Amino acid sequence: MSWKKSDKHNPPTQTPIQPPPQPSAPQSQPPSAKKQALIGSSIKIKGSLSGGEDLFVEGKIDGKIELDQYNVTIGTNGRIKADIHGRSIVVMGDVKGNLYGSEQIILRKSSKVRGNLFAVRVSLEDGSDFKGSIDMTSKPEEEAKPLQKDKPAVEAKPLQKDNTEVKPPSHQVPRQDKTEDKV
């Protein structure tokens, strides 16, 4: 910094140094990321599990997982003996039980699943170990079925019998008089 003669009476002002702004969220997750519960590899749960956030499981669960509106991820160390209900279900570990995904189910190549899959979209990566059935029917059709069983949409009327019989041309045989055969 150089001083001029005219600046003798007015010394230069210095701006205070401000520290850089600190991020509000950790570097590992974007600021818009949802909450996610983690069940570590040393955790064991017996019973029913429900909640209001996404779930990542590395531990063991024996029972039932009910997170219909949230994502459920079973990590490579996850060992599950339960039916799983979730919006999107991703499996990288072992699952013995049925999976019910309202949006999708993804079985990664490291997964081992013994149970049935119910979702509109199902993805099985090469190398995934799966034994069970897959049902990819959409929910609106499933919800409509019980209504049809209770009350039919259109009332069936008894059919009136029509005595005329129509045969295709290949089966029509000209009528012959029986009197010609007695000759």
Domain ranges, ordered by start, for the chain:
33-140
Percent of the chain topping pLDDT 90:
55
Q: What's the one-letter identity of residue 85?
A: H
Q: What is the mean pLDDT of residues 20-47?
A: 69
Give the pLDDT of residue 171.
56
Question: What secondary structure letter does DSSP report for 146?
Answer: H
pLDDT digits (tens, 9 = 90+) for 159-168: 555 555 555 5
pTM: 0.59
Share of the chain above pLDDT 70, in %: 57
**Residues 6 or more apart whose Cβ sits within 8 Å of residue 43:** 58, 59, 60
pLDDT at 156 over 90: no
Closest CA to 73 of 12, 61, 63: 61
Residue 45: strand, helix, or coil: strand
**Which region among 15-29, 37-51, 60-74, 92-106 has the lowest average model confidence (pLDDT)?**
15-29
Please name the residues in contact with 47: beta carbons below 8 A apart, sequence gap of 6 or more.
62, 63, 64
At residue 35 the predicted structure's pLDDT band, cuts being 50, 70 and 90, is: confident
Phi, psi of 129, rounded to the nearest 5 degrees? -105, 110
Tokens of 51: 């909640």
Q: Are 59 and 41 in contact (CB under 8 A)?
A: yes
pLDDT for res 98: 98
